[in-house]
Amino acid sequence: MALKITEECIACGACEPECPNEAIAAGDPIYLIDPDKCTECLGYYDDQQCQAVCPVACCPPDPDHPESKDDLLKKFHALHPGEEPKNVDTWKAPEA
């Protein structure tokens, strides 16, 4: 399930450089997550980096984009051909 950014976003920009998939971009007025690029950080980190740095906790899972762990792994491989995912066993799904 991709994450989304809600209207509580204060557009601080802290999340954008932390995303391993370049899924986050500045919008107007709030930042946006591209659901086609968000792997919930599976393949790089144990938990979700945008949630970890966001000062206002406005990056919940997006129920409009349900995905299994296998779906997310497929997305990882599509985004990073030839690269091995690093944290499949220790990765934790985001809390709602």
Rounded least distance, CB 16 to ligand SF4, Å: 7
Question: Taking CB under 6 A as the criterion, which residues in 51-90 touch ligand SF4?
Answer: 53-56, 58-59
For 58-70, b/e burial (b = at least 16 CB within 10 A) is bbbbbeeeebeee
Candidates 48, 67, 72, 76: give the one binding ligand SF4 (CB under 6 A).
48
| CB distance 25 to 34 below 8 Å | yes
Name the segment binding ligand SF4 (CB under 6 A); options: 12-20, 62-70, 72-80, 85-93: 12-20
